[in-house]
Amino acid sequence: MIPVKQREFERIVDEEGLTYFYLYTPMCGTCQLASKMLTIVEEAIPSLEINKIDLNYIPDYAKKWEVESVPCLIVYDEKSVKDRIYAFQSVDYLFRYFKQQ
């Protein structure tokens, strides 16, 4: 995953097409597990790039995007949220999800 800071995050939101954002908080144990799962999926799909950002640094976007909890994977395209994943069920589930995109 690609860790991004707030300024870089805002640039990505403004400029790019289909983008994945993994939103987490540092003290979240479930977030740490989800991060490991996403790292495995990224290794299995070399073309996949997921941007990782601490939700504490983007509270305005959390509200705008209606983020209900962490961990959260945001599928962002054409300047809007296309999908949100809160339940990181398994590596296989995530692998199949990204392959369908």
Domain membership flag for residue 80: yes
pLDDT tens sequence across 33-82: 999 999 999 999 999 999 999 999 999 999 999 999 999 999 999 889 99
Q: What is the pLDDT of residue 95?
A: 98
Domain membership flag for residue 70: yes
Q: What is the pLDDT of residue 97?
A: 97
Domain membership flag for residue 48: yes
Domain membership flag for residue 31: yes
Q: In which domain, by residue range, is 71 found?
A: 2-94
Report which secondary-structure segment, H or E, holds 86: none
88: CATH: 3.40.30.10
Percent of the chain, pLDDT > 70? 100
Confidence tier at 6 by pLDDT (50, 70, 90)? confident
Average pLDDT across the chain, whole number: 95
C-alpha dist (Å) from residue 14 to 33, 44, 48, 86, 94: 29, 28, 20, 24, 26
Q: What is the reported pTM?
A: 0.93
Domain membership flag for residue 73: yes
